[in-house]
Amino acid sequence: MIGAGGLGGDSPTVLTFPGRDEPQVGFDRAELQRILDLYGRMVAAGEWRDYAMSFGKDAASFAAFRRTAERPTARIEKRPALRTKQGMWTLFGEGGQVLKRGHELAGVLAVLERKLLKIVED
């Protein structure tokens, strides 16, 4: 789980979950709230119907699906080791292509939020 180091540029702390021997990367409350808020709006727009989260020693990811049995429509990955390089946040598209990288979660999610605005305008 990630401790201090919310949406800003602070350096995150990787903690060991109870019952686990290795540290594991996760989302802090503010990050998860921001991601789930976008997920809720995408569900309301009919774009997403399911999600999955994965937590490992190097990265945490949130994948959103249009249908449960498909590949994820979008995947948001947090990789703290890259925070001083290209940014710890990455948005992947359905084919696995990198759509956006950044140091701020808000900037990475902006790509999906723009898509949501287009859906509402149509």
Q: What share of the chain is helix, strand, coil (3-state, %, to 5)?
A: 30, 25, 50
What tens digit of pLDDT does each residue of 32-41 get? Answer: 999 999 999 9
Largest CA distance in the chain: 50
CA–CA distance, 122 with 116 (Å, rounded to integer) = 10
pLDDT digits (tens, 9 = 90+) for 79-88: 999 989 989 9
Give the pLDDT band (50/70/90) at residue 20: low
Strand ranges (DSSP E) for the chain?
A: 50-55, 60-65, 74-78, 89-92, 98-102
